[in-house]
């Protein structure tokens, strides 16, 4: 019979073996966490430490630095001579070669223009409000004309304040300093806050129209990033939806599916995104996973070593091949029909590798591959639908500007401040895509608000009649 001491020893050995197994898993997880970088995770490149592996360098293209043959130049266009403040004729007196005296004038001289900024002094209008007394003892005061702001600053000042804060990311304390340095205009921090509220209300309707517009678009991309709100800097989320000509931002309390529905409205068209579960209510067939994220995940799988390393390297090989073909399609060197033919065997190989990975002994590798297999339709939408990109770069690029703003300002102090930020970000990103002037747009919006007129629209011109007809 087995003695009591042997049973205790076996139990102790089993207990220690379980502890060792648990600690081995924890050590592996910590090592993987220590290896995390921008190459194998969603961490930004700026967070990479000195120990992070260098990003792989692309092989030399063989082209010389600078503009390439056929590149469209961007030289400054000369303005008409009659607009110059002064014209100076630079006429040579003697020949550079033989020193003979020269006579006459060049019928077509080479024009060189030098630009200067005039000294800017703010102009102002003064309204003298008279108060006249009546025999009944009451004093009646005159009224400001229609369209005159009750505050001290007109639409042109409001527009500059909006651009400084929303486009150039200046703080509320730096805006008065710049207004004084550039324009000689004295403003307080409180006045800047007051301007912010006026601007926010003036652009609210155009932003609402833009939000309705993106819901109906056939292709869109979405992303979200953290934000801070309120005196305690509570964590909230800044969402972005990007279409070719309109971009909409919205700050919300959560990062879940309800928040995604709030800004996306309903599942219309193709949605490009990362694999965040908040977008899971969108059908796989009309969704496009980001292949840049997939590439980082494949690198993380390869970095785990063992069987995972072979799986990750195989995925990286196929991803690199796909991007090579896609860039040729984008540059016009490969027909899309040919690309679709090339992608058929690649899809078979990728899904076979994911099937292999789903059976891997490493739990993280198996989980990632199984999840990708479950939603594999979302990997290939860009092959089937023209106009869909394989990455979510459009949305990720759109949130970079507000991310830098968050790092500088630490977020917003109130919900009213959040509404201003999401609206000014929407105006800025949308007008940049449409190559329209943001300063003039905000000035027109503030002027329209003063005169109770409809504000200008953020919608691209062909979409405006349809949007107005729908609203009617």
Kindly state the DSSP code that residue 281 receives in the 8-state scheme: T
Contacts (Cβ under 8 Å, ≥6 apart) of 387: 218, 219
pLDDT digits (tens, 9 = 90+) for 101-145: 999 999 999 999 999 988 888 889 999 999 999 989 999 999 999
pLDDT digits (tens, 9 = 90+) for 409-462: 888 999 999 999 999 999 999 999 999 999 999 999 999 999 999 999 999 976
Percent with pLDDT over 90 in the chain? 73
pLDDT for the residue numbered 463: 53
Contact 94, 100 (CB under 8 A): yes
Q: What average pLDDT does this structure show over 306-328?
A: 94
CA distances from 220 to 32, 112, 144, 205, 239 (A): 34, 46, 47, 22, 13
Q: Name the least confident of 46-50, 214-218, 231-235, 343-347.
A: 46-50
What pLDDT score was predicted for residue 215?
A: 96
pLDDT at 340 over 80: yes
Token pair 């194998």 is found at 40
Tokens of 462: 């062909």
Predicted confidence band of residue 26 (pLDDT cuts 50, 70, 90): confident
Of residues 161 and 466, the one with the higher pLDDT is 161
Q: What is the pLDDT, as a whole number, of residue 48?
A: 61
Residue 141 and residue 157 in contact, taking contact as beta carbons nearer than 8 Å: no
295, two tokens: 């590439």
Question: pLDDT value at position 138?
Answer: 94
Under the banding of pLDDT at 50, 70 and 90, the label for residue 468 is very low
Q: What is the mean pLDDT of residues 272-290?
A: 95
Q: Which residue has the higher pLDDT, 468 or 348?
A: 348
pLDDT at 168 over 90: yes
Helices (H), 132-271: 155-166, 174-183, 189-202, 204-215, 257-264
Report residue 92: phi and psi, to 5°.
-70, 145
Specify the pLDDT at position 434.
95
Over residues 311-320, the mean pLDDT reads 95
* Token pair belonging to 178: 């710049």
Question: At 12, is the pLDDT very low, low, confident or very high (cuts 50, 70, 90)?
Answer: confident
Residue ranges of alpha helices (H) inside 167-203 are 174-183, 189-202
Q: What is the mean pLDDT of residues 157-175?
A: 93
Tell me phi and psi for residue 40, to 5 degrees.
-125, 15
Contact 257, 281 (CB under 8 A): yes
CA distances, 342 to each of 7, 287, 317, 362 (Å):
63, 21, 15, 31
Task: In whole angstroms, give the CA distance from residue 323 to residue 330.
Answer: 10
| Per-residue pLDDT, 472 | 43
3-state helix, strand, coil in the chain (%, to 5): 50, 10, 40
């Amino acid at each position: 019979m087995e003695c009591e001491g042997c049973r205790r020893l076996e139990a102790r050995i089993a207990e220690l073996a379980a502890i060792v197994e648990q600690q081995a898993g924890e050590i592996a997880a910590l090592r993987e966490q220590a290896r995390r970088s921008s190459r194998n995770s969603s961490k930004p490149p700026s967070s990479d430490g000195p120990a992070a592996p260098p990003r792989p360098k692309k092989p030399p293209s063989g082209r010389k630095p600078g503009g390439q043959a056929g590149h469209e130049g961007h030289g400054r266009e000369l303005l008409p001579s009659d607009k110059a403040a002064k014209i100076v004729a630079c006429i040579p007196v003697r020949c550079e070669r033989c020193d003979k005296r020269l006579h006459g004038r060049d019928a077509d001289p080479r024009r060189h223009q030098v630009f200067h900024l005039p000294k800017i002094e703010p102009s102002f209008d003064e309204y003298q409000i008279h108060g006249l007394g009546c025999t009944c003892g009451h004093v009646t005061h005159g009224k400001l004309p229609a369209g005159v702001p009750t505050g001290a600053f007109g639409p042109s000042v409001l527009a500059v304040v909006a651009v400084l804060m929303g486009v150039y990311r200046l703080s509320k304390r730096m805006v008065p300093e710049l207004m004084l340095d550039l324009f000689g205009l004295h403003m307080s921090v409180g006045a800047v806050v007051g301007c912010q509220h006026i601007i926010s209300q003036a652009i609210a309707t155009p932003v609402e129209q833009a939000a309705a517009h993106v819901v109906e678009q056939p292709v869109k991309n979405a992303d979200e990033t953290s934000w801070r709100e309120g005196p305690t800097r509570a964590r909230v989320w800044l969402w972005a939806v990007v279409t070719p000509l309109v971009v909409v931002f919205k700050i919300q309390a959560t990062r879940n599916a309800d928040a995604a529905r709030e800004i996306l409205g309903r599942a219309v068209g193709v949605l490009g995104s990362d694999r965040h579960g908040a977008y899971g209510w969108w059908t796989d067939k009309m969704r496009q996973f980001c292949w840049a994220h997939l590439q980082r995940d494949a690198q993380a799988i390869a970095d785990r070593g063992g069987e995972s390393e072979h799986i990750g390297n195989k995925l990286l090989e196929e991803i690199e091949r796909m991007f090579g073909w896609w860039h040729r399609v984008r540059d016009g060197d490969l027909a899309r029909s040919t690309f679709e033919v090339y992608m058929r065997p690649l899809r078979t190989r990728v899904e076979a590798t994911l099937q292999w990975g789903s059976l891997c002994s490493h739990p993280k590798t198996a989980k990632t591959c199984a999840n990708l297999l479950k939603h594999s339709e979302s990997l290939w939408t860009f092959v089937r639908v023209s106009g869909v990109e394989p990455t979510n770069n459009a949305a990720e690029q759109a949130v970079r500007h507000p991310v830098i703003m968050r790092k500088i300002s630490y977020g917003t102090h109130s919900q009213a401040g959040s509404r201003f930020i999401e609206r000014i970000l929407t105006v800025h990103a949308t007008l940049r895509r449409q190559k329209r002037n943001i300063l003039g747009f905000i000035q027109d919006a503030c002027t329209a608000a003063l005169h109770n007129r409809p504000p200008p629209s953020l919608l691209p011109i062909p979409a405006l009649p349809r949007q107005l007809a729908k609203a009617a």
